[in-house]
A and B are shown apart, each in its own frame.
Chain A
Amino acid sequence: MVERADNQSVAQAEGRQSDGEEPCVTLDAFLSQSNATAVRLEPDEDARALIPHLDRLALIEVAFPKFRDGRGYSSARILREAGYAGELRAQGDVLVDQIAYMKRCGFDTFAPEKALNPADVEAALTRWPEHYQGAADGAVPIWKLRHG
């Protein structure tokens, strides 16, 4: 199941691929073929390799094989900071206690291996009233609220 960061389920599908969606190709495959519009990025792959191609991408799936491996958070921010506006999906060992930070880093959909409880997702995504630091979600940091 793929969930949107605003908690509206957009697709009901097995595995990480939604119905009717172009399957993600690996980074190597993407870089060597010109027509793919969806790519999957592993933790050890450089998100910056995608920067010249962002305008033809509709989906970037960032893999989280283990929730403790936080490289995908930096990948997501780098892509958003480079202006990527398409779907950015966190896939894998994606747990409810990480999704608020993932959203702040720019992810807008989640494809957890184990389905999340919608009420917990709702609670997690509405927990934080404000944020201390700027990130990739457009939230206004607290220092800016303090000083206008």
Chain B
Amino acid sequence: MYKYDEYDHAMVAARVAEFSDQVKRRLAGEITEDQFKPLRLMNGLYLQLHAYMLRVAVPYGTLDSRQMRMLAHIARKYDRDYGHFTTRQNIQYNWIKLEDAPAILQDLASVEMHAIQTSGNCIRNISSDQWAGAAADEITDPRPWAELLRQWSSFHPEFSYLPRKFKIAVIAADEDRAAMRLHDIGIQIVEKDGIHGAAFYVGGGMGRTPMIAPLIKDFVPLEDMLSYAEACLRVYNRYGRRDNIYKARIKILIHELGADEYRRQVEEEFAHVKSLGIDPPKAEFNRIAAQFAPPPLDASAPDAIDRSDPDFAVWVDQNVAAHKVPGHAIVNISLKPVGGIPGDASSAQIDLMADLAETYSHDELRVTHAQNIVLPHVRKADLYTIWQKLDEAGLATPNLDLISDIIACPGLDYCSLANARSIPVAQKIAARFSDLGRQKELGELKLKISGCINACGHHHAGHIGILGVDRKGTENYQLLLGGSGAEDVSLGTITGPGFDEDGIVDAIERVTDKYLATRAEGERFVDTFRRVGMAPFKEAIYG
């Protein structure tokens, strides 16, 4: 894992001092809320329906047990004893007092964490593959590339007042576990002639105008990556629309210019930017990469798993993934128990996951964009003990990638932008499909719920997506089918008229029944949908 050096510490400390001063001036009335807003947003502080919400960055979703315990401490001391893990691998707290924010940032800084640029019209926290460094299919660990981008984008003087927010994801495997092409810039590390470089996909995003990022450059060498990113951003900062907040994301610029014209402008800018010497030398990449060296895993560790406890075996089959080193496994901890709030964890649960990481996973945890937690480097021989401890804490729900592993935004229960509640709908769906045998029969089925058109719950990318809207003062839920945020990226299509809260659950049941009746051998829900199209599903839903 990346460890701060004196420079990183000094930068975060300066930011805490700066924001403490800004909060002081705001509380004294020296700056207006309008002037304060972008400053607090760039420090992760939103004003929500009931209180301030603080979003803490978890760079590329990686953290150690000490950091995880600090997240529990903050929940306990400053919030209501729980935190909410988000689709950008961050954590947010819903009940924060403005005057506590500087102290929280101070606490975070003590464990090399911060809330820098987790909001605002700037370059946000860099996200990545939650299985980085552990997955058998990656060509390299993407996190050193992400860390290089993190440092470049932190306090970037030119790109802190962009037309709109800007999200970057980095992966290094063909299987896309980070919804890479639904980011403003999605980078896939690829290999050409034995050398690694970055493929740049630019202009993806969800929101009210979802778009899949086109490939803008197939191979950017490491030594040009920051210059290329700088060129991509400069073209956007200069020409992205600022007249309409809903058309201000880079996807709209690229859509209006066309990918070829955007590429031409970026290449022209890059030719200039490359001459400025802003790219660090390979030695800096090597310094960072050394800190992501694989943990010392014993490849001769026993590979067999004792499956005699049937409940444990069910969990292993669903939530444990293959590790690149024999005798080891990747544990996925579901934060989606039936009746729970997707992504929420109590302080005690966060502490327990920290303990397990420290004892069994080389002190590493990951946050996933599906709002779950990962222990990336676990010996297979330890799986049963880990499962028992998770089970005692209500963290052993064996539903990874099943219909109840729902991504949901906070919705109208918390969010000032929402039109409808997301959490109760997620809970009702999980309850309707609570029978695990039924869920497993349905197989991989990614269900995603947003409480408004901003799409924080990734509904466009759900195999089944739900969008909550306000229809004449009542909550109404539209149903979308056929989206995907993975390597088979696609955008869902609306089925037709929306439903009320109970109606949407019934409609989903009709859709899944239709799938079971229609599927061919080995087809996931989304495969069947792609093969037969919308018509049979529409017929099943609306008659």
Question: Measuring CB to CB, which residues of chain A are less than 8 angstroms from any residue of chain B?
Answer: 67-71, 73-74, 77, 81, 95, 97-98, 100-102, 104-105, 120, 123, 127-135, 141-147
Q: Can you name 22 A-B pairs with beta carbons within 8 Å?
A: A67-B161, A70-B159, A70-B160, A70-B162, A70-B163, A71-B237, A71-B238, A97-B22, A123-B21, A130-B10, A131-B155, A132-B154, A133-B151, A133-B156, A133-B157, A133-B226, A133-B278, A141-B280, A142-B151, A143-B284, A145-B7, A146-B287
CB-CB nearest in chain A for B285: A143
Tell me if B283 counts as interface (CB < 8 A to partner A).
Answer: yes
A61 to B449, CA, bound (A): 48
B161 and A135 form a contact (CB under 8 A): no
A118 to B21, CA, bound (A): 15
A135 and B284 form a contact (CB under 8 A): no
Q: A74-B237, A128-B14, A132-B155 are in contact. Are A69 and B284 (CB under 8 A)?
A: no
Tell me if B18 counts as interface (CB < 8 A to partner A).
Answer: yes
Contacts of B280 in A (CB 8 A): 141, 143-144, 147
Given A128-B14, A146-B284, 12 extra CB contacts under 8 A: A81-B276, A97-B35, A101-B157, A123-B21, A127-B18, A128-B155, A131-B157, A132-B151, A135-B157, A142-B151, A146-B287, A147-B280
Q: A97-B35, A127-B18 are in contact. Are A133 and B152 (CB under 8 A)?
A: yes
Q: Give a binary string over B35-56; 1 marks a CB under 8 Å from any A CB, 0 the rest.
A: 1001100000000000000000
B157 and A105 form a contact (CB under 8 A): yes
Q: A71-B238, A128-B14, A146-B284 are in contact. Are A104 and B157 (CB under 8 A)?
A: yes
A5 to B3, CA, bound (A): 34
Q: Considering residues A81, A104, A120, A132, which has the most beta carbons from chain B within 10 angstroms of its beta carbon?
A: A132
Contacts of A131 in B (CB 8 A): 155, 157
CB-CB nearest in chain A for B287: A146
A73 and B14 form a contact (CB under 8 A): no
- Specify which of B7, B25, B158, B238 is in contact with A105 (CB 8 Å cutoff): B158
A49 to B5, CA, bound (A): 43
Tell me if B11 counts as interface (CB < 8 A to partner A).
Answer: yes
Tell me if B121 counts as interface (CB < 8 A to partner A).
Answer: yes
Q: For residue B289, give the distance in angstroms from its CB to the closest CB of chain A.
A: 14
B281 and A147 form a contact (CB under 8 A): yes
Contacts of A97 in B (CB 8 A): 22, 31, 35, 39
Contacts of A69 in B (CB 8 A): 161, 242
A73 and B157 form a contact (CB under 8 A): yes
Q: For residue B146, give the distance in angstroms from its CB to the closest CB of chain A.
A: 14
CB-CB nearest in chain A for B150: A132
Q: Which of B217-234 contact A (CB under 8 A)?
A: 226, 234
A73 and B155 form a contact (CB under 8 A): no
A82 to B22, CA, bound (A): 35
A81 to B5, CA, bound (A): 30
A-B contact number at CB 8 A = 101
Q: Considering residues A128, A130, A133, which has the most beta carbons from chain B within 10 angstroms of its beta carbon?
A: A133
Q: A95-B35, A135-B157 are in contact. Are A70 and B237 (CB under 8 A)?
A: yes
Tell me if B272 counts as interface (CB < 8 A to partner A).
Answer: yes
A135 and B11 form a contact (CB under 8 A): no
Q: Give a binary string over B2-16; 1 marks a CB under 8 Å from any A CB, 0 the rest.
A: 000101001100100
- Specify which of A68, A81, A128, A130 is in contact with B272 (CB 8 Å cutoff): A81
B160 and A101 form a contact (CB under 8 A): yes
Contacts of B297 in A (CB 8 A): none
Contacts of A129 in B (CB 8 A): 10-11, 14
Q: Considering residues A97, A98, A102, A104, which has the most beta carbons from chain B within 10 angstroms of its beta carbon?
A: A97
Contacts of B276 in A (CB 8 A): 81, 134
B14 and A127 form a contact (CB under 8 A): yes
A55 to B481, CA, bound (A): 60
A98 to B339, CA, bound (A): 46
Contacts of A74 in B (CB 8 A): 158, 234, 237-238
Q: For residue B293, give the distance in angstroms from its CB to the closest CB of chain A.
A: 18
Q: For residue B286, give the distance in angstroms from its CB to the closest CB of chain A.
A: 10
- Specify which of B11, B121, B160, B278 is in contact with A130 (CB 8 Å cutoff): B11
A127 to B278, CA, bound (A): 22
Q: For residue B195, give the distance in angstroms from its CB to the closest CB of chain A.
A: 21
CB-CB nearest in chain B for A93: B35
A59 to B159, CA, bound (A): 24
B152 and A128 form a contact (CB under 8 A): no
Q: Give a binary string over B153-173; 1 marks a CB under 8 Å from any A CB, 0 the rest.
A: 011111111110000000000
Tell me if B277 counts as interface (CB < 8 A to partner A).
Answer: yes
Contacts of B238 in A (CB 8 A): 71, 74
Contacts of A68 in B (CB 8 A): 38, 121, 161
A71 to B278, CA, bound (A): 20
- Specify which of B7, B35, B121 is in contact with A142 (CB 8 Å cutoff): B7
- Specify which of A73, A123, A143 is in contact with B161 (CB 8 Å cutoff): A73
A147 to B238, CA, bound (A): 33
Q: A133-B156, A133-B278 are in contact. Are A70 and B11 (CB under 8 A)?
A: no
CB-CB nearest in chain B for A126: B14
Contacts of B11 in A (CB 8 A): 128-130, 132, 142
Q: For residue B296, give the distance in angstroms from its CB to the closest CB of chain A.
A: 26
A135 and B35 form a contact (CB under 8 A): no
CB-CB nearest in chain B for A144: B280
Q: For residue B431, give the distance in angstroms from its CB to the closest CB of chain A.
A: 44
A73 and B7 form a contact (CB under 8 A): no
